[in-house]
Structure 1
Amino acid sequence: MYDNLGAQPGVPRPPTNPQQSPFGNGFYGASSGLIRGGLGAYGEKILGSSSEYVQSNISRYFSDPQYYFQVNDQYVRNKLKVVLFPFLHRGHWTRITEPVGGRLSYKPPIYDINAPDLYIPFMAFGTYVVLAGFSLGLRGRFSPEALNWLFIKGLVGWFLQVSLLKFCLLSLGSGEAPLLDIVAYAGYTFTGMCIAVLGKILWSYSYYFLIPWTCICMGAFLVKTMKRVLFAEVRTYDSSRHHYLLIFIALAQFPLFIWLGNISVNWLF
């Protein structure tokens, strides 16, 4: 009545896995190897081009941080003279290039007085915070919280200066200058601020002379630097617009210096 689905004695069971054709295995192995090889080569090409693109953009916009700390005592002295007394600088303002790896690169600060560095800006920024805290201590208003606010205020001022220079470059159709170059040029602001704050500590009335002088010197330094160094990378040149932006950079130093020079626990006054 019922079909017997089990194996009958003496009757051979048919193979469950039939043997595949050797030609099919050969074609399958060759095609899979070809696909894997093609995908691997394509993936390596994509990853290689992507890594080269990322590295080129990092070096293009950020440069090598070690480059900005290749300084010595002679460079620091000469650079401070250029920043604090730009009218006395009789040399050129262009940076010196040298062939490296088949292309032109700028010489480090130790060999070029016009090269930007980060050693002086960082040292000047730290000195500014210390002098500002000491000034508050002389007036009996020092506290750790006040020192923190001065530190943050200095960082905000540095950021505003960087934004100003970056805005001028972008408005002229060029944002290709390395970011650390702009950060370094903006950081020289604190060299003049240290002189102004120190003068205010020694003699309060000297502050009203030192602030305008440091503003004028910093404005002249940035104008000459932006005109000869950074604007050299601008793709389009507009003489009238160029001059207006330079004047704007110089005039913007006055409110920035007055704000940073006002040593208090308040942000605005």
Structure 2
Amino acid sequence: MYNNVASQPQTLPGAPLQPANSQPNPFGNAFQVAGSGLIRGGLHAYGERIFGSSSEYVQSNISRYFSDPQYYFQVNDQYVRNKLKVVLFPFLHRGHWTRITEPVGGRLSYKPPIFDINAPDLYIPFMAFGTYVVLAGLSLGLRGKFSPEALNWLFIKGLFGWFLQTALLKVTLFSLGSGEAPLLDIIAYAGYTFTGMCLAVLGRLIWGYSYYFLMPWTCLCMGIFLVKTMKRVLFAEARSYDSSKHHYLLLFIALVQFPLFTWLGNITVNWLI
């Protein structure tokens, strides 16, 4: 006789029972894999479209108000010499004041300073600002009033004067409906103020009375330079044109240079004076 118990499947105590008619479903796994792939692909494409368009929007708006900082330092010795002549002797500049454009990537772009004398740069403003602080500290030292605190206040005074000039030009552009000029362009144009300031302070160190001639001269030259620049370069992109309003604002920019230069040229321990 045969033992029928040995032919039956053995189960351990406590083990889960499997259904007798369980069959694998290959279609369910296939549909699950295909569905998850479609969802991942769709979300990936949708995310790339959203983030791609947003990044392009951000880059376009950043480039509208800012520019590549490396652009403003593409200078050489010839450019620096010619640019100083334009800033300090603007009435001798016989060429045009408009910037040179070139097609880049299907759009018009301005040539860097090394190829265009009318392009703004940040090399001359930064060097002139540093020279102004050094000359101001030397002036205090010759009068026996030099101290690290005084030099620190002179540094702050120069930065604040640079900020005032930048704010003046920026507000003027906004009032004319052309506030989309790159901020670094405005900072560069405002920074040329210190080229004339260095000349005036240096003249005071060499011969005190020359200051009273050099200060009005540098004010006049800076006013002419800014008027020519604002009129030919920045106002060209204004959305609305009002001849009388333009002229009054240009005259205002030129007149503001006199109190600004007088304040920056007064080298004292108290930077508010």
TM-score (norm 1): 0.90
Per the TM alignment, residue 248 of structure 1 is displaced from its structure 2 partner at its CA by: 1.2
Per the TM alignment, residue 214 of structure 1 is displaced from its structure 2 partner at its CA by: 0.9
Partner of 2:176: 172
Q: Structure 1 residue aligned with 2:239, among 230, 235, 241?
A: 235
Identity %: 85
Partner of 1:143: 147
Partner of 2:57: 53
Q: Which has the larger radius of gyration?
A: 2
CA 1:13–1:70 in structure 2 vs 1: closer, same or farther (change >3 Å)?
Answer: closer
SS at 1:54 equivalent: helix
Partner of 1:39: 43
Q: Structure 2 residue aligned with 1:182, among 180, 186, 202?
A: 186
Partner of 2:258: 254
Per the TM alignment, residue 184 of structure 1 is displaced from its structure 2 partner at its CA by: 0.7
Q: Structure 2 residue aligned with 1:263, among 250, 263, 267?
A: 267
Where do 1:188-207 residues align within 5 Å?
Answer: 188-207=192-211
SS at 1:105 equivalent: strand
Residue 218 in structure 1 maps to residue 226 in structure 2: no
Partner of 2:95: 91
Per the TM alignment, residue 268 of structure 1 is displaced from its structure 2 partner at its CA by: 2.3
Deviations along 1:28-65, one digit per CA (max 9) or x if unpaired, are 33322212111110001111112222222233322111
Partner of 1:4: none
Partner of 2:161: 157
Partner of 1:3: none
Alpha-carbon separation, structure 1, partners of 2:188 and 2:32? 61
Per the TM alignment, residue 174 of structure 1 is displaced from its structure 2 partner at its CA by: 1.8
Alpha-carbon separation, structure 2, partners of 1:81 and 1:36? 62
Per the TM alignment, residue 200 of structure 1 is displaced from its structure 2 partner at its CA by: 1.2
Alpha-carbon separation, structure 2, partners of 1:36 and 1:47? 16
* Matched AA of 1:202: I
Deviations along 1:191-220, one digit per CA (max 9) or x if unpaired, are 000011111112222222221111111011
Q: Structure 1 residue aligned with 2:135, among 107, 131, 135?
A: 131
Q: Structure 2 residue aligned with 1:74, among 73, 78, 81?
A: 78
RMSD over aligned Cα atoms: 2.0
* Matched AA of 2:75: V
SS at 2:179 equivalent: coil
* Matched AA of 1:166: K
Q: What 5-or-longer segments of structure 2 have no aligned partner?
A: 1-10
Q: Structure 2 residue aligned with 1:104, among 93, 108, 115?
A: 108
TM-score (norm 2): 0.89
Alpha-carbon separation, structure 2, partners of 1:219 and 1:66? 28
* Matched AA of 1:184: A
Per the TM alignment, residue 19 of structure 1 is displaced from its structure 2 partner at its CA by: 6.2
Aligned length: 260
